[in-house]
Structure 1
Amino acid sequence: MLKQQLRGISSLLGSISLIGVCVGMTSTLLSLRATIEGFGTLVTGFIMSAYFIGYLFGSTRAPKDIRRVGYIRSFGGLAALAAFSILMQAIWVDPVVWFVMRFITGFAISGIFVIVESWLNTMADNRSRGTLLSVYLVIIYSGLIVGQLILGVADPAGFVAFAIVALLINLALIPILVSVTAEPTTHENRKVPISLLLKTVPLGVINAFIMQACYAMFYGIGPMYASYIGLSVLQITFFMAAFIAGGLISQAPFGLLSDRIDRRFVMAICAAGGTLTAATLSQLSASNAIFIYLNVGLLGAFILPLYSLGMAHTNDFLERDQMVGATGAIIKIGGAGSIIGAPAVAALMQFGAINYFFLLLAALTSCVGFYSLYRITRRAKAEDQLHSNFAILAPSQTSDELLTSMAEEAPETEEEDDEEMESNAVLR
């Protein structure tokens, strides 16, 4: 059964692998090009935050558009929009233009993730869903790593690197355009306000905000920091790839461990490891490149699983019909952290505190670690922790079930319903 499902979605996975390569290339490419153009760290930080703003808007809007025009046409339109925004940044090198185009990129990429994940959910059953989503995440992370390595042989100062990204996005259209899609099922779920989450599972809320801020800082400003300490473009691609590879390797082991002991203790271990590793990295220079790669890999191994651990911990204390609404709220909280993270660290670096990049990461992860230990003293472990097994989630991943429920909060008019019925009739 699983093999049949994998064969059925092989074209879909092929498309998303190319999108993963593009996502991996783009943030590092823009960070390096902004450094070459002399935008400054503060301006670059705001440009990078535009992606996450667009991501929030796209993830909320996309499910409604998918229901209107279908999966394949939505994917095609969003991919074209993403390719357009990338090429515009190569043609028109201006901070304001880049901010707008980065917003559009985030909007388009989030919609593509919604399409892919809903497609996977319709193809999977309860026995295979976890495996299929794990395969999906491995492909995404592998694409991110390959994207970094491709950038190592493409000059960020020229047009070619941007053209490669646009070409790969267009190539990603081919597998999915010749595939057959299935409509996702919808579920009735309770809304969960952020205020309720803060009262019920404060660690989940704080962890999501801080860790997504850390991820945005690293992906958006990390390449600039690496360039500042003297790493070459090729070395910077290894620097970024090592971080992602570390997270790819450690996700499952930490997740399995958290299913056996108190998840908050595992979160404290990961946060402590991330704090020590970040503090070590703050003392290293370009002359220790190999040691930098090893430590950056360890940093990714410790801090990338924290978001998913926090999500699983949140679900441990919720009813089943609250989980979708709660995760949607966590996505919003994490998105807010992402929007704030890159500009905040960029502002510090702009005013001469660039040497404190990893020290700031260490301070933030230590906050998660200490608060995790504090919560252990304030509340007993969930009675049946295994009811919400750890699920491997990418830092920027969005689930269609979650986002569909968010989009459905706004009721449609009768005219919109009629349009949707006509569109479905045409598709059938």
Structure 2
Amino acid sequence: MLKQQLRAISSLLTSITMIGICVGMTSTLLSLRATIENFGTLTTGVIMSAYFIGFLFGTTRAPKDIRRVGYIRAFGGLAALAAASILIQAIWIDPTVWFVMRFLTGFAISAIFVIVESWLNTMADNKNRGTLLSVYLVLIYGGLVAGQLILGVADPAGFMAFAIVALLINLALIPILISVTVEPTTHESKKVPIRSLFKLVPLGIVNAFIMQACYAMFYGIGPMYATYIGLSVAQVSLFMASFILGGMLAQAPIGLLSDRFDRRIIMAVCAGLGSVMALVLAQLGASVAWLIYLCVGLFGACVLPLYSLGMAHTNDYLEKDQMVGATGAIIKIGGVGSIIGAPAVAALMQFGAVDFFFLLIMALTAVVCLYSLYRVTRRAKADEQLTSSYAMLGPSQTSDELLTTLVDEHEYQVELAEREAEEEGDEDDEKEAADEIKERS
């Protein structure tokens, strides 16, 4: 059964793998090219944050457009938009243009993830959904690593690297456009306001904000930092690939541990080890490149699973009908952290504090470690933790259900208020009718 389903979605998985390669290449490519063009670290950080602004905007707008024009047509249009935005950045080297194009790229990629994950959820059932999503996420991480390695043989100062990204995005259209799959549907779920969620599971909110800020710092400014300490373009690619590969290999083992022990303890251990590795990386230079690769791989193994751990911990304390809405709220918080992260560390580096790159990440992960331990002392472990098992989450992915939750939140509240008003009106009418009958009697 599983093999048949994998064959059925092979074209979909092929497309998303190519998209993963492009996502992996683009962030590092733009960071390196911005360094070559002397944009400055602060300007580069702002440009990189535009991707996360677009991604966040895509989570609130794209689902409406997808429902209006259909998933297949939307995928084609969004992929074309992403490819065009990449090529425009190669043709027009200007910070303002890059900011706008980076925003459009983030918007398009977020909506593409909506389509792909909705397809996966439609094809899967409860018995193998976890397996299929694990295959999907391994391919995403594999694509991110491959993107870094491809960039190592392409010159970021030229046009070729941008052309490769645009070419791969267009090639990703072919498998999904020729496949025949039933379009997914959405489901109603209970909304969970951010304020209520923070009162219920504060660690989940704090973890999402801080870790997504750290990811944005590393993906957006990491290549620039690696260049500053003396790594070549090929070495920068290995630097970034090691980080992603470490996270990919550690996701499943850490997830299994978190299902057996208190997740907050596992989060504290991962964040604490991540802080130590960040401190070590802050002391290393280009003369020991192999040690940098090893340490950054271990660093990725510690910090990349933290977002998924926080999501699983949050779900431990929620009802099933709250989980989708809660994840939507966490996406919002994480998106804000991503938007702030890259410019914040870039501002420090702009004023000559290059060494502060990993030191700031160290401080942030230490906060997660200490706060996780603090929450252990304030609240008992969830009684039914095993009922909401850990799930691997990619660095920038969402699902149609989650995004639809964000889009419809306001509309839902309005509809609910109107429904309650109607019910109250019906009760008043019934009361008046009863009184009239009594009077006639």
TM-score computed with the length of structure 2 as normaliser: 0.92
1:327-366 alignment runs, 5 A limit: 327-366=327-366
Which residue is 2:20 aligned to? 20
Q: Find out whether 1:44 has 2:7 as its counterpart.
A: no
Matched letter for residue 321 of structure 2: D
Task: State the Cα distance separating 1:218 from its structure 2 match.
Answer: 0.2
Matched letter for residue 106 of structure 2: G
Q: Which runs of 4+ in 1 moved over 4 A?
A: none
Q: Find out whether 1:382 has 2:382 as its counterpart.
A: yes
Task: State the Cα distance separating 1:188 from its structure 2 match.
Answer: 2.2
Task: State the Cα distance separating 1:69 from its structure 2 match.
Answer: 1.3
CA shift digits 1:180-221 (9 cap, x unpaired): 122323322111111011100000000000000000000000
Does structure 1 retain, via aligned residues, the 8 Å contact 2:217–2:341?
A: yes
CA shift digits 1:114-153 (9 cap, x unpaired): 0000000000000111111100000000000000000001
Counterpart Cα distance in 1 of 2:66 and 2:254: 35
Matched letter for residue 81 of structure 1: L
Does structure 1 retain, via aligned residues, the 8 Å contact 2:191–2:409?
A: no
Matched letter for residue 344 of structure 1: A
Question: Structure 1: any 5+ residue segments left out of the alignment?
Answer: 413-428
Question: Structure 2: any 5+ residue segments left out of the alignment?
Answer: 413-441
Task: State the Cα distance separating 1:157 from its structure 2 match.
Answer: 0.3
Task: State the Cα distance separating 1:268 from its structure 2 match.
Answer: 0.4
Matched letter for residue 117 of structure 1: E
Counterpart Cα distance in 2 of 1:227 and 1:323: 41
1:11-410 alignment runs, 5 A limit: 11-409=11-409
Counterpart Cα distance in 2 of 1:15 and 1:410: 33
Counterpart Cα distance in 1 of 2:61 and 2:123: 23
Does structure 2 retain, via aligned residues, the 8 Å contact 1:231–1:286?
A: yes
CA shift digits 1:395-428 (9 cap, x unpaired): 211111111222233549xxxxxxxxxxxxxxxx
Task: State the Cα distance separating 1:22 from its structure 2 match.
Answer: 0.3
SS, match of residue 93 in structure 2 = coil
Counterpart Cα distance in 1 of 2:197 and 2:214: 21
Q: Percent identity?
A: 78
Does structure 1 retain, via aligned residues, the 8 Å contact 2:262–2:381?
A: yes
Number of residue pairs matched?
412
TM-score computed with the length of structure 1 as normaliser: 0.95
Counterpart Cα distance in 2 of 1:399 and 1:263: 24
SS, match of residue 87 in structure 1 = helix
Counterpart Cα distance in 1 of 2:181 and 2:346: 42
Counterpart Cα distance in 2 of 1:411 and 1:375: 35
SS, match of residue 408 in structure 1 = helix
Matched letter for residue 137 of structure 1: L
Matched letter for residue 104 of structure 2: I
Matched letter for residue 307 of structure 1: Y
Counterpart Cα distance in 1 of 2:391 and 2:65: 27
Does structure 2 retain, via aligned residues, the 8 Å contact 1:52–1:338?
A: yes
Counterpart Cα distance in 1 of 2:411 and 2:321: 20
Matched letter for residue 39 of structure 2: F
CA shift digits 1:154-178 (9 cap, x unpaired): 0000000000000000000000010
SS, match of residue 351 in structure 2 = helix
CA RMSD of aligned residues (A): 0.9
Flag the 1:380–1:410 CA change in 2: closer, same or farther, 3 A. Answer: closer
SS, match of residue 210 in structure 1 = helix
Look at both structures and tell me which one has the larger radius of gyration over its CA atoms: 2
Does structure 2 retain, via aligned residues, the 8 Å contact 1:259–1:390?
A: yes
Which residue is 1:425 aligned to? none
SS, match of residue 304 in structure 2 = helix
Counterpart Cα distance in 1 of 2:183 and 2:164: 32
Counterpart Cα distance in 2 of 1:375 and 1:185: 38
Does structure 1 retain, via aligned residues, the 8 Å contact 2:59–2:406?
A: no
SS, match of residue 353 in structure 1 = coil
Does structure 1 retain, via aligned residues, the 8 Å contact 2:58–2:111?
A: yes
Matched letter for residue 369 of structure 2: G
Matched letter for residue 371 of structure 1: Y
Counterpart Cα distance in 1 of 2:308 and 2:302: 12
Flag the 1:410–1:65 CA change in 2: closer, same or farther, 3 A. Answer: farther
CA shift digits 1:24-71 (9 cap, x unpaired): 000000000000000000000000000000001112222212211111
Does structure 2 retain, via aligned residues, the 8 Å contact 1:72–1:181?
A: no
Counterpart Cα distance in 1 of 2:284 and 2:156: 25
CA shift digits 1:374-399 (9 cap, x unpaired): 00000000011011100000121111
SS, match of residue 354 in structure 1 = coil
Counterpart Cα distance in 2 of 1:132 and 1:349: 41
Counterpart Cα distance in 2 of 1:193 and 1:411: 14
Counterpart Cα distance in 1 of 2:333 and 2:379: 23
SS, match of residue 22 in structure 1 = helix
Counterpart Cα distance in 2 of 1:105 and 1:258: 34
CA shift digits 1:260-302 (9 cap, x unpaired): 0000000001001100000000000000000000000000000
Counterpart Cα distance in 2 of 1:107 and 1:147: 20
Matched letter for residue 256 of structure 1: L
Matched letter for residue 13 of structure 1: L
Counterpart Cα distance in 1 of 2:135 and 2:68: 29
SS, match of residue 247 in structure 2 = helix
Does structure 2 retain, via aligned residues, the 8 Å contact 1:71–1:181?
A: no
